[in-house]
């Protein structure tokens, strides 16, 4: 029997939801059918498509008051959370069904804190789930929505000055956007944070290359047979077994002792062709980085000058399938707007489609530069910073054979499966 990493797919109700742009005259509205288990960061993207917006600004949902009222229950975007806002639930972890359940329930939504587009979502009807029904579809609506960055205007007279046809409501075009590769990937369970990043890239070869891999990321298997799993996690398992047997002592400088360095170097794939005797961790950064990645993954921790198993490490040491699931759940950093999170998402997107081939690090670096990241001196993001990602140290050592220096960008089939598992790990609690 294979070990699997999949999200449990129970049938979910479909909600028919009326979305009104508050204060618009005449009314600007959309009627949507939405699967109730969609996380609200995905609902946000659906509303963006339905109102022809471009996902360039902050957003939040609110219930029981205004989106900025202390008394309301707020659901926050990643950017708000990254900036220190902690009085609310994360949109990526909160489903539509958790906020609405009965016809007449309402949920507020605000997009772009400058123009301040405020909308109201009202649950009109709970529909019986159907296997072939889309997860998100626009059913009806009226009038064109205001364009991005037009100053918050909502009345027809002013909108006529910024829209070629304020009366236009093109149902087919809106649904075409919802059924394109981006939304198909999100609705198939791919991490919506990755899709949000890709949606911000300009048209060009880099975007085309990433979009081309979305189908495989969304549909290729994350099933790993037990024998293959064990063979590819040998390096990870060695550290867990060593710590389970006895705490792993560290030197006064915080490094592994020479005997453990020699033993670990024999099983960590990336160290296979490392120059030198490999008996000093300080002189073997590939081993040091891998060991520290296990600490970053929450499997090992320092205690009184030694490395010991965490609670998660104890469970993972006993069962490789548990170790696999734990790695998948921890590969993506939690800070959605940090460089490491953006870089990791793009790296996993490349790795998940590599499947026994090389990762295109130049495409990742170029995408990060296009997203606005730069070196401190203002120069574009270089490819070499990607080799320092924790996810990179984990994945390159998911391997059933020693790695050659010539295999610098190569990803094993098992590592590709783990990357896909991380991008498709369920984020709803």
Residue 44, domain CATH = 3.10.290.30
Considering 147, 179, 211, which residue would you say is the last residue of a domain? 179
pLDDT band at 6 (very low <50, low <70, confident <90, very high): very low
320 in the same domain as 229? yes
Residue 170 reports pLDDT greater than 60: yes
Query: Which of residues 179, 201, 223 is at a domain's end?
Result: 179
Residue of higher predicted confidence among 367 and 222:
367
Residues 378 and 329 in one domain: yes
Q: Is the same domain home to 397 and 248? A: yes
pLDDT digits (tens, 9 = 90+) for 325-360: 999 999 999 877 789 999 999 999 999 987 667 899
With b for 16 or more beta-carbon neighbours within 10 A and e for fewer, the 64-73 pattern comes to: eeebeeeebb
Query: What value does the mean pLDDT take over residues 25-33?
Result: 96
Range of the domain at 72: 14-179
Rounded average pLDDT over 262-286: 87
Based on the domain organization, do 148 and 232 belong to the same domain? no
Q: Is 242 domain-assigned?
A: yes
pLDDT for the residue 4: 27
Would you tell me the crossing angle of helices 320-330 and 234-245 to the nearest 10 degrees?
110
Examine the domain organization and report whether 136 and 209 are in the same domain: no
Which H/E stretch holds residue 324?
Answer: helix 320-330
Total domains present in the chain: 2
Same-domain pairing of 145 and 67: yes
Q: What is the pLDDT of residues 107-117, one digit of tens each?
A: 999 999 999 99
What number of other Cβ atoms are within 10 A of residue 57's Cβ?
19
* Residues 288, 152 within the same domain: no
- For residues 280 and 427, state if they share a domain: yes
Per-residue pLDDT band at 11 (split at 50, 70, 90): low
Q: Which residue has the higher pLDDT, 152 or 206?
A: 206
In a domain, 387, yes or no: yes
Question: How many whole angstroms separate alpha carbon 412 and alpha carbon 385?
Answer: 21
Q: What pLDDT, on a 0 to 100 scale, did the predictor assign at position 105?
A: 97
pLDDT band for 275, please (50, 70, 90 cuts): low
- Confidence at residue 5, expressed as pLDDT on a 0 to 100 scale: 25
Q: How many CB atoms lie within 10 A of CB 345?
A: 25
How are beta strands 89-90 and 73-76 bridged, if at all? parallel
Please indicate, yes or no, whether residues 171 and 287 belong to a single structural domain of this protein.
no
Q: What is the pTM of this model?
A: 0.73
Higher-scoring residue by pLDDT: 204, 219? 204
Residues in the chain: 429
User: Is 1 a residue whose pLDDT tops 60?
Assistant: no
Closest CA to 15 of 108, 110, 132, 134: 134
What would the two tokens of residue 42 be? 């995905």
pLDDT of amino acid 377: 92
Report the share of the chain in percent with pLDDT over 70: 95
pLDDT tens digits, 76-131: 998 898 888 888 999 988 999 999 999 999 999 999 999 999 999 999 999 987 77
**Whole-number pLDDT of residue 332:** 95
| DSSP letter for each residue of 215-228 | HHHHHS---B-HHH
Q: 158 and 213 share a domain?
A: no
pLDDT given for residue 273 in this prediction: 78
Residue-level pLDDT at 133: 81
**Residue 340 resides in a domain:** yes
Residue 309, beta-bridge partner list: 300
Residue 326, pLDDT score:
96
Instruction: Assess if residue 231 is contained within a domain.
Output: yes
**pLDDT, position 93:** 87
Is pLDDT at 8 greater than 70 in this prediction? no
Say if residue 312 is in the same domain as residue 279.
Answer: yes
Residue 8 lies in a domain: no
- Which class for 161: exposed (0-12), middle (13-18), buried (19 or more C-beta within 10 A)? exposed
pLDDT at 356: 65
Comparison of pLDDT for 169 and 11, the residue scoring more: 169
- Residue 133: count of CB within 10 angstroms of its CB: 12
Instruction: Give the pLDDT band (50/70/90) at residue 404.
Output: confident
**Of 94, 91, 88, residue with least CA distance to 77:** 91
Q: What is the mean pLDDT of the chain?
A: 90
The two beta strands, 59-63 and 73-76, are antiparallel
| Residues 15 and 123 sit within 8 Å (Cβ to Cβ) | yes
Q: Say if 186 falls within a structural domain.
A: no
- Contact between 411 and 394 under an 8 Å Cβ cutoff? The reply is no
Residues of the chain above pLDDT 90, percent: 69
**pLDDT of residue 373 exceeding 80:** yes
């Amino acid at each position: 029997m294979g070990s699997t990493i999949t999200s449990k797919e129970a049938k979910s109700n479909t909600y028919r939801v009326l979305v009104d742009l508050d204060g618009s005259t005449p009314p600007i509205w959309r009627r949507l059918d939405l699967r109730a288990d969609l996380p609200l960061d995905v609902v946000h993207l659906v509303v963006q498509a339905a109102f022809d917006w471009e996902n360039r600004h902050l957003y939040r949902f609110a219930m029981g008051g205004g989106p900025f009222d202390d008394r309301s229950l707020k659901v926050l975007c990643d950017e708000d959370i990254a900036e220190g806002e902690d009085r609310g639930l994360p949109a990526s972890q909160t489903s539509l069904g958790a906020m609405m359940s009965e016809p007449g329930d309402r949920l507020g939504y605000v997009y772009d804190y400058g123009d301040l587009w405020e909308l109201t979502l009202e649950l009109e009807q709970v529909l019986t789930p159907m296997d072939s029904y889309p997860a998100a579809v626009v059913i009806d609506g009226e009038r064109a929505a205001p364009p991005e960055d037009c100053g918050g205007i909502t009345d027809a007279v002013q909108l006529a000055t910024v829209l070629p046809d304020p009366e236009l409501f093109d149902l087919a075009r809106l649904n075409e956007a919802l059924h394109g590769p981006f939304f198909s990937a999100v609705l198939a369970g791919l991490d919506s944070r990755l899709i949000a990043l890709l949606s911000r890239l300009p048209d060009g070869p880099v975007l085309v290359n990433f979009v081309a891999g979305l189908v495989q990321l969304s549909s290729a298997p994350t099933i790993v047979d037990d024998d293959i799993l064990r063979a590819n996690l040998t390096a990870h398992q060695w550290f867990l077994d060593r710590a389970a047997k006895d705490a792993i002592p560290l030197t006064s400088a915080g490094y592994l002792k020479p005997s453990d360095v020699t033993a670990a170097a024999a099983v960590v794939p990336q160290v296979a062709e490392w120059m030198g005797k490999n008996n000093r961790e300080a002189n073997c950064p590939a081993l040091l980085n891998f060991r520290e990645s296990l600490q970053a993954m929450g499997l090992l921790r320092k205690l009184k000058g030694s490395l010991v198993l965490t609670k998660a490490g104890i469970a993972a040491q006993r069962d490789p399938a548990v170790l696999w699931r734990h790695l998948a759940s921890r590969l993506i950093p939690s800070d959605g707007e940090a460089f490491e999170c953006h870089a990791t998402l793009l790296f996993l997107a490349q790795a998940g489609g590599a499947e026994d081939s090389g990762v295109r690090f130049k495409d990742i670096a170029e995408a990060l530069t296009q997203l606005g990241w730069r070196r401190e001196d203002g120069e574009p993001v270089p490819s070499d910073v990607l080799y320092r990602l924790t996810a990179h140290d984990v994945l390159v050592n998911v391997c059933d054979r020693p790695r050659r220096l010539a295999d610098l960008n190569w990803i094993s089939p098992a590592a590709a499966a783990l990357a896909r598992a991380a991008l498709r790990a369920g984020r709803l609690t």
